[in-house]
Structure 1
Amino acid sequence: MDYANEKLHEEKVFKDPVHRYVHVRDRVIWDLIGTREFQRLRRIKQLGTTYLTFHGAEHSRFNHSLGVYEIVRRIVDDVFSGRPEWKEGERLLVLCAALLHDLGHGPFSHSFEKVFDLDHEQFTQRIILGDTEVHDVLVKVSPDFPKHVAEVIAKTYKDKQVVSLISSQIDADRMDYLQRDAYFTGVSYGHFDMERILRVMRPKEDQVVIKQSGMHAVEDYIMSRYQMYWQVYFHPVTRSAEVILTKILHRAKALYKQEYPFKQDPIHFYSLFETNLTLEDYLKLDESVILYYFQMWQDEEDPILRDLSKRFLNRQLFKYVEFDPAKEYKKHSELEALFKKAGIDPDYYLVVDSSSDLPYDFYRPGEEEERLPIHLVTPSGDIRELSRESHIVNGISGKRRTDHKLYFPADLLEDERTKKTTKRQIKNY
């Protein structure tokens, strides 16, 4: 039997708190899970700094990736199998793309990316196409198989139906992370009837559609996503931790450029600081490495790096107030001057952070981040866009919500008279 169709002698299962079991019968999938690049995801938290707000949020990208794979496996094996609109030959491709879709995430994911101007999707493709164990597994299927997997993840693959299972407004990625993140944070917001949604999903030409009878389950899913973003993902305490994390990395990078004599030389950061990061350098980075340096930097001579590292590790986070950048930019400049007068560097200790989300949108040609809509299929076979049929979804379609906070270390403003004045100014902000 050729490698692409080879099955394990006995099915392997992973016990999972969300899906009960993750089932693996394909040799290719089992071999991919065993690669060092995929095992690295055990050392990357799914929710970054959220564990400092919700203490149970210690789950990893490894957990999530298995979950996305399992949802896609159920769709193609149990729901789509045998339907003429589904190409059975795409099965292994979409399973591999589901499993590997987050392979390129770095430590603390999006915060890390912003500081060093990285893109985890590009690194995912580099891992799949580069000199890696993952590539060695994929190329055994066929010489162009790694390229096709990378195209699915990059959303450039010719079969948009395959892409939509991994990346759309109702895909396996979102369905897993909403439920998994809700489970580990202990909140109720992210729960929805996934079983019902899977039962009413149908392959249709170049997309996946939902039977009209399942519309209410989809409404519940969209509202669950909306609540999770504002109650969990954009929680202001989590954002405070992200602010400090990014400022530690910015400070370390600035000190390196100044040829500061580190007690603990940041050798793992050299290529990041010098913007010549290799794939091998990137794969050596995980959260255990980052936290090791934070631990060591608590003893550095530089007072800012030392203080910020202590704050992050000991959860001594910044406080925050509401902030409107459009109306209060002048006050922000005044506060910066007051911070400088108090001997506090505003570049590191007075930070504006913004979060924004668009819970659902329909197709808007030419606009940035065009979004393919969720389509319903009627009993007569007509295709209708979700917000045209659902009053609930129509009420939030195209409506972007944005939140701004001003973060600062309240404890540094407690003692001296000048600092008290600064704190009073912030309170009156």
Structure 2
Amino acid sequence: MTENDQYHERLPLEKVFRDPVHRYIHVQHQLILDLINAREFQRLRRIKQLGTASFTFHGAEHSRFTHSLGVYEIARRICDHFMRSYPTKVPGDGGWDDSERLVVLCAALLHDIGHGPYSHTFEHIFHTDHEKITIDILLSPETEVHQILSKVSPDFPEKVASVIDKTYPNPQVVQLISSQIDADRMDYLLRDAYYTGVNYGTFDLTRILRVIRPYKEGIAFRIQGMHAVEDYIVSRYQMYMQVYFHPVSRGMEVTLDHLLKRANRIYDLPETQFKHSFSLLIPFFEKRFTLEDYLKLDDGVLNTYFTLWRDEQDQILSDLATRFLDRKPFKSVTYQKETDLPIIKKLQGLIQKAGYETDYYTALNNSYDLPYDFYRPNQKSRPAQIELIYPDHTLIELSEASDLVKALTGKQHGDERFYVPKEFLKPHSSSEISLFEPLYQEFTRYIKNGAIYHSDEDK
């Protein structure tokens, strides 16, 4: 048996990983085992799945490594279910062609491999794109992942990459990895709920995996399982409102964003003298990073640099590093974008008078999510709407069948927040009260004018 044949065959004895969400992750192919052991995939152990959320939900220390294994496991179960219950009999009949299994499993496992440290905040400052970098990792001959995938066939890395960028010709495969109800979302909702200690993200995964089925245009769900799909949509909505958009986690993101922005901005200033070296970030400051440079970074690298920045001469850099490492999140008030921006401008002016640079000590932050959407003719892009299928094989879009989902469909949910350092909202000494008295008066007037003040002191 050649190595190529070995990668298509199943292991004589499957390997298992214990998992708190799925109990066991079943690895049945040498290909998958080799990909898990690849350098680029092991790096995901050192990148937290939820970034700064662990400063609010202390149990949220899980990694993108564990999530990626979970996505693989859900995809594997779906492939087993499709092969057992809906195998293709005639080409084009809408059944499941199990020759697609390996590409599905690899795309599920590797879909997040391009994430960097503190993913989205890092992307914002250094203009990286984790999806593009995922594709680069899959296609670069220098990576272990590419070399392993190429042993299946020379064009196999391109096939897996095309699933990630949604150009793969089989819509069943694409929708299993990326749609409004896919293996990725199903795992992160359950996993994030488990590690944050909340019940919002729980739904009946077993039931959904029983009612999911392939059809010509992608995947659908048997009409008998509509309530399980409803439960999934509501769980997703609640996780975004209660966990992903938590104001304290966003306050820590603001602190991190401003910290990286300050380091990036002062790096090129001739008067800046750094006490410590941070060589792994220099290619990003100088906008000349390579894939190899990117793969050297993880959360631990950045945290080490933040610890060193505590002692730097630049007071803003030192202060922001201290606030981040010691969990001193910026605090917030909600505001109405259409009417309250003039008041925000006044508050920023008062903060500037108090000696704080508003570029680094204030922020306007919005977080919105669309729990569910469906296709409308005037839309530029077509969402992979959730289809329910009757026994006679006719389809109905989810929100047409469910009044519950209809209430959430097509509506953005979230808020706009104005972030400032904690001491501006909660003074700890009489000197702080005296210094910021005009600011407190402005905030009082702001609240009386109808804006909602959100106190997150419980976190």
TM-score w.r.t. the length of structure 2 is 0.91
Match for 1:206 among 214, 217, 222? 217
Match for 2:168 among 157, 170, 184? 157
1:13 paired with 2:16, answer: yes
Distance across 2 between alignment mates of 1:373 and 1:418: 54
1:313 is displaced (CA, Å) by 0.6
Sort the Cα spacing of 1:229 and 1:29 in 2 relative to 1 into closer, same or farther, 3 A: same
Aligned-residue identity in percent: 54
Name the counterpart of 1:181. Answer: 192
1:42 paired with 2:45, answer: yes
Name the counterpart of 1:422. Answer: 439
Counterpart contact for 2:386–2:398, Cα < 8 Å: yes
Match for 1:221 among 227, 232, 236? 232
What letter matches 2:123 in structure 1? E
Deviations 1:312-362 (A, max 9, x none): 111111111111222111112212221221111111111111001000000
1:323 paired with 2:327, answer: no
Deviates more, 1:147-156 or 1:318-327: 318-327
Name the counterpart of 2:70. Answer: 67
1:365 is displaced (CA, Å) by 4.4
1:5-404 alignment to 2 at 5 Å?
5-81=8-84, 83-84=87-88, 85-130=95-140, 131-259=142-270, 260-365=272-377, 367=379, 370-404=382-416
What letter matches 2:33 in structure 1? W
What letter matches 2:57 in structure 1? F
1:273 is displaced (CA, Å) by 1.4
Counterpart contact for 1:61–1:102, Cα < 8 Å: yes
Deviates more, 1:112-121 or 1:145-154: 112-121
Which portions of structure 1, spanning 4 or more consecutive aligned residues, are displaced by more than 6 angstroms?
none
Distance across 2 between alignment mates of 1:418 and 1:53: 29
Sort the Cα spacing of 1:309 and 1:368 in 2 relative to 1 into closer, same or farther, 3 A: farther
Counterpart contact for 1:410–1:423, Cα < 8 Å: no
1:409 paired with 2:421, answer: yes
Distance across 2 between alignment mates of 1:286 and 1:185: 22
Aligned length: 429
Distance across 1 between alignment mates of 2:329 and 2:382: 36
Deviations 1:369-415 (A, max 9, x none): 53110001011110111111111111111111230111111326743
What letter matches 1:426 in structure 2? F
Distance across 2 between alignment mates of 1:421 and 1:351: 20
Distance across 2 between alignment mates of 1:410 and 1:425: 16
1:418 is displaced (CA, Å) by 4.2
Q: Quote the RMSD (CA, aligned, Å).
A: 1.4
Sort the Cα spacing of 1:189 and 1:145 in 2 relative to 1 into closer, same or farther, 3 A: same
Name the counterpart of 2:91. Answer: none
1:7 is displaced (CA, Å) by 2.7
Distance across 1 between alignment mates of 2:264 and 2:74: 40
Counterpart contact for 1:3–1:140, Cα < 8 Å: no
Distance across 2 between alignment mates of 1:412 and 1:299: 24
Counterpart contact for 2:117–2:298, Cα < 8 Å: yes
Give 5+ residue unaligned stretches, structure 2.
89-94, 447-459
State the secondary structure of the residue aligned to 1:381: coil
1:366 is displaced (CA, Å) by 5.4
1:290 is displaced (CA, Å) by 0.3
Counterpart contact for 2:118–2:299, Cα < 8 Å: yes
Sort the Cα spacing of 1:427 and 1:313 in 2 relative to 1 into closer, same or farther, 3 A: farther
Distance across 1 between alignment mates of 2:339 and 2:380: 26
What letter matches 1:319 in structure 2? K
1:199 is displaced (CA, Å) by 0.3
Distance across 2 between alignment mates of 1:422 and 1:190: 39
TM-score w.r.t. the length of structure 1 is 0.97
Sort the Cα spacing of 1:300 and 1:365 in 2 relative to 1 into closer, same or farther, 3 A: farther
Sort the Cα spacing of 1:254 and 1:380 in 2 relative to 1 into closer, same or farther, 3 A: same
Counterpart contact for 1:79–1:198, Cα < 8 Å: no
Distance across 2 between alignment mates of 1:140 and 1:390: 46
Deviates more, 1:369-378 or 1:93-102: 369-378
